[in-house]
Amino acid sequence: MGSLRVLLLGHGYLGTSLAADLLAAGDEVVAVHRGEPQRGPYPLLSGDVSLPGSLVAVREGLPFARPDAIVHCASSSRGGAETYEAVFVEGMRNLRAIFPGVPVLFTSSTSVYGQTDGSVVDESSDTTPDRETGRLLLEAEALARGSGGMALRLAGIYGPGRSVHLKKLLEGSAAIEDVDPSRYLNQIHRDDASGAIRHLLHHGPATSAGATFNVVDDTPVTQRECYEKLAACFGLPVPPLAPPDPGRKRGWTHKIVSNAALRATGWEPRYPSFLGAVETDPRLVPSIRGQIATVS
């Protein structure tokens, strides 16, 4: 497939990486965020996916008549159900109305799987999230598939400047949940999440129109194993046991998320495991250490 004209809704941690990757691949990129318009390697327009009038202004400001595809990777900014409904559900409705016929790739979350038995889940598994936010993600997913697009269920994203588990271990605030069995952590490096979206855009939305894909690495790891191995890697004490946090934003789940469907399209992760990335991504550990030093 040749070069694409891609509209990105969201220019945060994932969106900025994706925009750079698409640009490097020769695609024409326009990104939208809620800040002021900017000029750089690609246009960065001001807009809000939850406001129809704002998206109309974005459409009128595009340097091309019509995008070939839209990626909805706007953040909820850690808001609750009301924010999820505005950004994800209403946002998807607005995109379908203002850009009719344009496939939308919607970045959802593996939190829509509510399994707690340690089972392997794929895209056909039951989705029974115990939080309203998860149910709203499922509603937005259906709208994306109905646009001829895709729903991409991303695992926990980490990468340069972002890793909750690594940061907690290095700053000494980590604790291992005192439960047996220890829950599985399903993660994806930011560069691999970006690469998966780029791959699916060039793989051809028409080929996978209406599909759902889990975007996760090859190696789930339990929370206990993660902290024990990180501690050994850095020569630090194993974190103490503590009761699980009942207020976890995405609830408590225990499952292994399969990426077999995405791999079957020809995608491969650069970082097949989180623990491997700690050793092989030269940016990861220094960036987290830098954050800790800045706060200190």
From residue 216, give the alpha-carbon distance in Å to each of 52, 89, 94, 121, 167: 32, 23, 28, 12, 20
Q: pLDDT per residue over 130-143, tens digit each?
A: 889 999 999 999 99
Query: For residue 295, what pLDDT band results from cuts at 50, 70 and 90?
Result: confident
Please name the amino acid found at residue 188.
I
Q: Kindly state the percentage of the chain with pLDDT values over 90.
A: 90
The first and second tokens of residue 235, run together, are 């020569």
CATH superfamily of 5-295: NAD(P)-binding Rossmann-like Domain (3.40.50.720)
Q: Give pLDDT tens digits for 47-84.
A: 999 999 999 999 999 999 999 999 999 988 778 999 99
- Counts for the chain of helices (H) and strands (E), in that order: 11, 15
Does pLDDT of 1 surpass 60? no
What confidence score (pLDDT) does residue 244 get? 87
For the chain, the average pLDDT equals 95
What pLDDT was estimated at residue 2?
76
Which residues, 6 or more positions from 46, have their beta carbon under 8 angstroms from its beta carbon?
32, 33, 34, 35, 36, 37, 54
List the one residue out of 189, 154, 166, 160 whose CA is nearest residue 75. Answer: 154
pLDDT digits (tens, 9 = 90+) for 187-224: 999 999 999 999 999 987 778 999 999 999 999 999 99
Q: Which amino acid is at 30?
A: V
Decide: 231 and 168 in contact? Cβ < 8 Å: no
Q: What percent of the chain clears pLDDT 70, i.e. is strictly above it?
A: 97
Contact indicator for 44, 31 with CB cutoff of 8 Å:
yes
Give the pLDDT confidence score for residue 201 in this predicted structure: 96
Residue 248 confidence (pLDDT) above 70: no
Q: What's the confidence (pLDDT) of residue 79?
A: 81
Q: Could you tell me the CA-to-CA distances from 171 to 221, 239, 245 in Å, in that order?
A: 21, 11, 19
- Would you state the pLDDT for residue 251? 59
Task: Tell me the C-alpha distance between 156 and 14, whole Å.
Answer: 12
pLDDT category of residue 245 using cuts at 50, 70 and 90: confident
